[in-house]
Amino acid sequence: MKKGQEIGLTIGSRGIDRMQELVKEVVLHIKSQGAQPVIIPAMGSHGGATAEGQREVLASYGITEEQVGAPIRADMETIELGTDPESGLPVYFDRQASLLDGVILMNRVKAHTDFHSTYESGLMKISVIGLGNHKGAEHVHFHGLDGLTKLIPSFARTILSKGNIFFGIALMENASDTLAEIHLLQKDEIADREPGLLLRSKEYLPRLPVGNLDVMVVERMGKNISGVGIDPNITGRRGIRSDADNGNASGIANRIVCLDLTPECHGNALGMGLADFVPRHFYEQIDFQKTYANVITSGFVERGFVPLVMENDFQAIDTAIQCCGRKVDDATVRLLQIQDTLSARQVLVSPALIDEVAELGHWQDMGEVEYLFDDQGTLKTRIKSLT
């Protein structure tokens, strides 16, 4: 960096542990070099595919000019950076980012919710989808799973060779959803090193203790939890009809109930189609404009289908049990409850699962709890209230 240069830092739409602290540190480092830091939202069509919506997403993570000490330049406009030599397709890049002297790519490296390949979520993807804004994201997603697995690597290489990328900051979180590793990658190292970092990040993925569930209750979903609200890498339910391998699989649970949206997702309910039942208060929080903008851009419209809407939590869970595909009662139903798919180290299980979990050895029995609902049918027995 040289004195007086403007250096951008990419921030995506995902909730990453200690994000504000990380951003502040990078901003201070840029300033220490005599350069001027600029925050660039890099989140494709998220935030309702509007600049103001993306500012709101950043603000929900504590990323504002006042809080991190750097201006935010949100703009959905793109430039055509070049042509991908492999496909012959144009490569789009954020206009504001293109005007800077350099851009630092920062993102979490982890398994993607739509596909598995050499590159999934990480620096390569944020350069293409994140900095491609709505136009660039739609451009890639239009080609379906092939677009994600083949175009992201080739487009990213075009961006790295023709764009103004300085270096990359690759982040990893552990199964407790806390920051575990930070890797600094020179621009020339990003394409070569990211696949190895991805494999390492998958070792951190939380794993549920049991499968073959009748019902899974997910207390909350949202884009700060997973790109599709409920992480298919945890539930096994991908919800992509065009994925011949496992797109239509029910996953580890025959029925999934989701009780709430996180405030941080601002009503974006992309991924609700991965659930079978939701209570009415979930439905009433949905911002369909934001949700549909994101769903349509992704191309995987099934994930935006509205689940069956029941009057309250009790009816949603009770109906899921009734419709789980076999005759069960309180003693035999295989039900597991988690707070969300990022926080799967603590679970509630029904009596039928206790012995099975105990045999695993590495799960500690915290004792019996009473499954309580209030007079309005709202579930009071939540993971957070028990810890």
Same domain, 143 and 271: no
Mean pLDDT of 349-356: 94
Structure tokens at 371: 């499954």
Same domain, 245 and 103: no
pLDDT at 248 > cutoff 60: no
* Mean pLDDT, all residues of the chain: 91
Query: Which CATH number belongs to the domain containing residue 11 in this structure?
Result: 3.40.50.11440
pLDDT at 335 > cutoff 90: yes
Please give the share of the chain, as a percent, with pLDDT higher than 90: 65
Mean pLDDT of 349-366: 89
Contact status, residue 58 vs residue 102, Cβ threshold 8 Å: no
CA atoms of 337 and 128, how far apart (whole Å): 36
Mean pLDDT of 97-123: 91
Question: pLDDT-derived band of residue 72, with 50, 70 and 90 as boundaries?
Answer: very high
What's the confidence (pLDDT) of residue 249? 54
Same domain, 112 and 225: no
Same domain, 343 and 218: yes
Mean pLDDT of 93-121: 91
What's the confidence (pLDDT) of residue 254? 95
Same domain, 140 and 221: no
pLDDT at 347 > cutoff 80: yes
pLDDT at 246 > cutoff 70: no
Structure tokens at 108: 């979490």
Domain edge (last residue) among 151, 178, 202 = 202
For 23-124, strand residue ranges (E) read: 36-41, 78-83, 90-94, 102-108
pLDDT at 49 > cutoff 90: no
What's the confidence (pLDDT) of residue 247? 44
Same domain, 220 and 159: no
What's the confidence (pLDDT) of residue 387? 65
Question: pLDDT-derived band of residue 310, with 50, 70 and 90 as boundaries?
Answer: very high
For residue 1, being part of any structural domain is answered with: no
Same domain, 153 and 82: yes
Question: pLDDT-derived band of residue 363, with 50, 70 and 90 as boundaries?
Answer: confident
What's the confidence (pLDDT) of residue 153? 95
Same domain, 265 and 331: yes
For residue 140, being part of any structural domain is answered with: yes
pLDDT at 167 > cutoff 60: yes
Domain edge (last residue) among 175, 202, 229 = 202
Q: Enumerate helices (H) and strands (E) in the chain, giving the number of each.
A: 14, 13
pLDDT at 315 > cutoff 50: yes
Residues recorded for the chain: 387
Mean pLDDT of 110-118: 83
Question: pLDDT-derived band of residue 243, with 50, 70 and 90 as boundaries?
Answer: low
Same domain, 59 and 151: yes
For residue 208, being part of any structural domain is answered with: no
- pLDDT (tens digit per residue) in 265-286: 899 999 999 999 999 999 999 9
For residue 51, being part of any structural domain is answered with: yes
Question: pLDDT-derived band of residue 171, with 50, 70 and 90 as boundaries?
Answer: very high
pLDDT at 339 > cutoff 80: yes
Please give the share of the chain, as a percent, with pLDDT higher than 70: 97
Domain edge (last residue) among 202, 237, 261 = 202
Question: What's the half-sphere exposure (Cβ side, CA atoms, 13 Å) at 322?
Answer: 7
Structure tokens at 295: 């769903």
What's the confidence (pLDDT) of residue 250? 62
Poorest-pLDDT segment among 8-22, 235-249, 328-342: 235-249
Same domain, 244 and 176: no
pLDDT at 60 > cutoff 50: yes
Same domain, 186 and 325: no
Domain holding 165, by residue range, is 6-202
Mean pLDDT of 34-57: 87
- pLDDT (tens digit per residue) in 172-188: 998 777 899 999 999 99
Report how many domains make up the chain: 2
CA atoms of 16 and 108, how far apart (whole Å): 7
Contact status, residue 223 vs residue 195, Cβ threshold 8 Å: no
Question: pLDDT-derived band of residue 47, with 50, 70 and 90 as boundaries?
Answer: confident
Same domain, 237 and 376: yes
How far, in Å, are 30, 128, 130 from residue 138 at the CA level?
Answer: 32, 11, 11
For residue 207, being part of any structural domain is answered with: no
Q: What angle (nearest 5°) sits at the alpha carbon of residue 241, between those of residues 237 and 244? A: 85
For residue 374, being part of any structural domain is answered with: yes
Closest CA to 333 of 348, 346, 322, 345: 322
